[in-house]
Amino acid sequence: MSDKRERSMEKKGASLMHKYELGRLLGQGTFAKVYHARNIKTGQNVAIKVIDKEKVLKVGLIDQIKREISVMRLVRHPNIVQLYEVMASKTKIYFSMEYVRGGELFNKLLKGKLNEDAARKYFQQLIQAVDFCHSRGVYHRDLKPENLLLDENGDLKVSDFGLSALWDSRRQDGLLHTTCGTPAYVAPEVINMKGYDGAKADIWSCGVVLYVLMAGYLPFQDSNLMGMYKRIIKSDFKCPPWFPQEVRTLLSKILDPNPSTRITVEKIRENSWFRRGFKQCQTLHRPLSETNLVTKDVHAAFSPSDPNDKLSSTSNPPSLTPSRNSSFNAFDIISLSQGFDLSGLFENDVKQKLESRFTSNKDVSTIMSKFEEIAAPERFSVMKTDNGVVKLQGMKEGRKGQLTIDAEIFEVTPSFSVVEVKKASGDTLEYKEFCDRDLKPSLKDVVWAWQGNSVEPQ
């Protein structure tokens, strides 16, 4: 299929694989876009996730996509977004998934905290979904309100298994070792990077979600990322006065910094506060005929497509292999969509912190050189560190002293980096003007996409 035809397939009203009529764009990230679509034959509404094969191949994330397909095929539950079908063309992978109309639970929190009954209902449904995942040997590892969707009935659906792990991913010590997740929701043992039990780490994240639902803000708040980690490691949090004593007690058991004494899912399900108004979900049983589709879909998505771009049914090993087996291991760079911005849950002083992120397919030295060019001797002095930080300090005094800008570069793979740019000191207005007038235009040769935008590489 030509690139031109590929692009035309993503236009509203276009026919995808002669099976789905594509609708409006629902959201997008660095490597994927999600569209509303309709099954032409049945009329069923679905969400179509379109993944760019070339982009994920370049940055070594194909194994991650394969794992996501396998995991979603394993976890069929009323409170988990369902994967219906995986299709592929020459350059794209298409996930046909359950369309969840109500949007993210996170959007409800933007309006403030939830009442106790609503928070308990969502927490009950979250625990049931997580318990089911664990029973299938699946650990989500990125549970947060942005990954919890609501259907038309107001029921919760867990989504985004892109960072999930399977039971057999554990090392010989029986633990997982990939550091991943969203900073405010990760367990202390994940931060310590000495190995962790995926189930215990998920339980901690569920506790943070419960706190956020009832408080309207995060339990471990700090204007500095390292400060937040210190609070998490010590489980240094306080419950607001409106929390019932039962909830305070339950949270103290869930947000236990020692994973060996942390409460289990089984004990949470027995808790009297949790049991109030509890409704048991009926799991979706998979026909035996579907069990082979896990392997089949994974291989088909990464096998060369035929000239007519029909989904290959081969069960042979995939022909594409990643250039590097990579995992995102710095919390700041796990998620590159707008949903990652947690500022709405912080206090006002954190909201004022100015920073932005962009991805780049250039190597670290090229990115650093570009910042040196921007600085120019008469405008900024430049200091580089061995750990990928470039500091630009203004040569002239501004309204609030010298303007200082920090750019921290995270190398995910040799051909994929994430750069965080922020004002370290100086006047905010001067910083904004410099970014809009000089910084962003000057960086266009090394920027792949700014956070929340879809910008094709040069």
Q: Which residues are catalytic?
A: 142
Tokens 């609503």 label which residue?
118
Closest to 218 (Cα-Cα) out of 120, 115, 350: 350
* Sign of the CA dihedral with 235 first, then 241, 244, and 246 last: positive
Helices marked H in 279-417 — which ranges? 293-301, 348-351, 364-375
User: Tokens for 284?
Assistant: 């979706």
CA 6 to chain centre: 26
N- to C-terminal Cα separation, the chain: 23
Helices marked H in 216-323 — which ranges? 225-234, 245-254, 265-270, 272-275, 293-301
CA distances from 196 to 199, 227, 325, 326 (A): 9, 21, 20, 19
Q: Which long-range contacts (CB under 8 A, 24 or more apart) does 253-261 make?
A: 254/203, 254/204, 254/206, 254/207, 254/210, 255/204, 255/207, 255/208, 255/211, 255/219, 257/188, 257/232, 257/233, 259/187, 259/188, 259/189, 259/196, 259/197, 259/200, 259/201, 259/204
Q: Is 49 annotated as a binding residue?
A: yes
Separation CA 268–CA 259 (nearest Å): 15
Separation CA 293–CA 70 (nearest Å): 9
Separation CA 414–CA 112 (nearest Å): 42
Residue type at position 314:
T
Summarize the annotated binding site as residue ranges: 49
Summarize the annotated binding site for ATP as residue ranges: 49
